[in-house]
Amino acid sequence: MWVLAKFFEAGSKEFAVISESFDPRTLSKMEIALDRACLILPAGSDEHRVRRIIAGKILECAHRGDKTLSGLTAAGYAVATRLSDTQERKRVD
């Protein structure tokens, strides 16, 4: 099963939406976008929680109709950058 799907419980509404709403090619693009976005996260970040947030934003992008790899990756990068900045500020404080 696709990487984003593991962030949602089997049988849940979110899981059904992911597995039924997108074709395999789009799911592959979403997985690549998630992996790329997570590359910019600082070491030691709460990986599962942060990946879930990024996955959610990538899903929102796809649901809005942008299913291109560049669009999905940009959505992932945008939230990963914000989360990374927030985590960095917390370490400095």
Residue, of 69 and 12, whose pLDDT is higher = 69
pLDDT attached to residue 4: 55
Q: Does residue 53 contact residue 79 with C-beta atoms inside 8 Å?
A: yes
pLDDT tens digits, one per residue of 5-53: 555 555 455 655 676 788 889 989 999 999 999 998 877 666 778 888 9
* Sequential DSSP letters for 13-78: HHHHHHHHHS-HHHHHHHHHHHHHHHTTSPTTS-HHHHHHHHHHHHHHHHHTT--SHHHHHHHHHH
State the pTM of this model.
0.76
pLDDT attached to residue 93: 47
1 has pLDDT over 50: no
Q: Where are the domains of the chain?
A: 24-92
pLDDT attached to residue 76: 96
